Amino acid sequence: MIEQPAPAVNPSLSQTTDTAATRSSGYAIAVLSSAGSGVSTVIGKWNLMAISPLLMNSLIFSVATVVLSGILLPARGVKNVFTLSRKGWLWIGLFSGISVFALWTFWAGVQKMDPSLAAFLNRVEVFIAILLGIIFLKERFDRWETLGALLSVGGIVVMRLSLRVEYSEGFWLVLLGSLFFGITEFISKIAVRYVEPTVLTYIRAAITAAAFWIIFFSRGMSFEGLERVWPGVIALGVMGPLVARLLYLSALKRLELSRVAVISQMQPIFVILIAFAFLSQLPTFREIVGGICISVGCLLMILARHRTGIRNSLRVARSRER
């Protein structure tokens, strides 16, 4: 019997299949990251019913630092993790310092308002990050980005005008936190040029934890209420700075930043569902409308920025061909 030769495999077809599989897993991971962030927001809200935002931040970043130390240091060695360039340390310092303000104000706001509204309002960080990129890169808004910006600002106005009185202080704190988060997002994109993302996450967690503990003890605050929510604190320490963040970085390895950013806009949906199920908290119709306007506006800005990037790349390619 003559043995038939195996059919030839088309390399381009194999490569296309691998790319499609990578993208599919990237979308799944991005959705999991968004869901993880939503779970973190609701867990954080539950924790803040018993303890202060300062204590919670101190503890969750300590948990993240301990876990990452056990994973990263044995695998890479202390010297390899901490041997960085001056620019690397400079950007880590800026990233960590502004993160402290962002986290403190955001969670202080979440403590005083519905977590679903906080999740919608926190989408403003996308608007800030894109705006900073445009300012420093000397680019202009196209008409879709302008429309997205107007929708986002309009959403903030609608949400503020329809907001319940008891949420007023929380609204401004979360908005301020979103401003700081937008700045940290912009800085992190520069920082990863000098520091590997996992190392950046680890050192940022350690510096942030140290900063919060210094502030905590200098203000003479107590651990009152921790005995009631310590499981939530540990869960948030693992879920927020670790699982959700690492899933986000993993998604970025498989998908373009713009696609991951689009999927991250799903976070408020997860927060609404989880907060309603476990905390029995639900925004009013007008508050949701304002939140949707913010999310849709940010979505338009992301998609328009992605399209601009493709157009610029094609322009550069054509100029090289000439």
- DSSP-derived secondary structure for 132-182: HHHHHHT----HHHHHHHHHHHHHHHHHHHT--GGGHHHHHHHHHHHHHHH
pLDDT digits (tens, 9 = 90+) for 114-139: 888 888 888 777 777 777 766 775 55
Tell me what pLDDT residue 227 has.
Answer: 93
User: Does the structure show a pLDDT above 60 at 18?
Assistant: no
> Would residue 279 count as lying in a domain?
yes
Question: What is the count of structural domains for the chain?
Answer: 1
Query: Once rounded to an integer, what is the mean pLDDT over residues 158-178?
Result: 81
> Would residue 23 count as lying in a domain?
no
How far apart, in whole angstroms, are the C-alpha atoms of residue 303 and residue 165?
A: 35
Query: Once rounded to an integer, what is the mean pLDDT over residues 297-308?
Result: 70
User: Does the structure show a pLDDT above 80 at 164?
Assistant: no
Q: Quote the distance between the C-alpha of residue 250 and its chain's center.
A: 13
> Would residue 16 count as lying in a domain?
no
The tokens for 18 are: 């691998």
Tell me what pLDDT residue 17 has.
Answer: 53
Give me the domain span that covers residue 248. Answer: 30-321
- DSSP-derived secondary structure for 213-242: HHHHHHTT---TTHHHHHHHHHHHHHIIII
User: Does the structure show a pLDDT above 90 at 295?
Assistant: no
Tell me what pLDDT residue 243 has.
Answer: 81
Tell me what pLDDT residue 4 has.
Answer: 43
Tell me what pLDDT residue 12 has.
Answer: 47
How far apart, in whole angstroms, are the C-alpha atoms of residue 95 and residue 82?
A: 16
Tell me the CA distances in angstroms from 268 to 123, 272, 276, 278, one per residue in order: 9, 6, 12, 15
Tell me what pLDDT residue 14 has.
Answer: 46
How far apart, in whole angstroms, are the C-alpha atoms of residue 8 and residue 113?
A: 62
> Would residue 8 count as lying in a domain?
no
How far apart, in whole angstroms, are the C-alpha atoms of residue 138 and residue 156?
A: 26
> Would residue 6 count as lying in a domain?
no
The phi-psi region of residue 52 (left if phi > 0; otherwise alpha if psi is between -120 and 50; otherwise beta) is beta
Q: Quick check: 208 and 99 in contact, CB under 8 A?
A: yes
How far apart, in whole angstroms, are the C-alpha atoms of residue 51 and residue 222?
A: 9
> Would residue 61 count as lying in a domain?
yes
Given pLDDT bands bounded at 50, 70 and 90, which one contains residue 271? confident
Tell me the CA distances in angstroms from 11 to 23, 50, 213, 261, 289, one per residue in order: 18, 59, 55, 32, 49
**253 or 41: which leads in pLDDT:** 41
> Would residue 234 count as lying in a domain?
yes
Query: Once rounded to an integer, what is the mean pLDDT over residues 30-58?
Result: 90
Query: Once rounded to an integer, what is the mean pLDDT over residues 260-271?
Result: 75
Tell me what pLDDT residue 6 has.
Answer: 43
Query: Once rounded to an integer, what is the mean pLDDT over residues 4-18?
Result: 47
How far apart, in whole angstroms, are the C-alpha atoms of residue 131 and residue 291?
A: 19
Among 52-56, 139-143, 222-226, the minimum mean pLDDT is found in 139-143
* pTM, to two decimals: 0.77
> Would residue 86 count as lying in a domain?
yes
What is the rounded average pLDDT for all residues in the chain? 80
pLDDT digits (tens, 9 = 90+) for 225-237: 999 999 999 999 8
User: Does the structure show a pLDDT above 50 at 8?
Assistant: no
Query: Once rounded to an integer, what is the mean pLDDT over residues 15-34?
Result: 71
Q: Quote the distance between the C-alpha of residue 251 and its chain's center.
A: 12
Given pLDDT bands bounded at 50, 70 and 90, which one contains residue 48? very high
Query: Once rounded to an integer, what is the mean pLDDT over residues 148-173?
Result: 77
Tell me what pLDDT residue 100 has.
Answer: 95
pLDDT digits (tens, 9 = 90+) for 185-231: 788 878 888 888 888 889 999 999 999 999 999 998 889 999 999 99
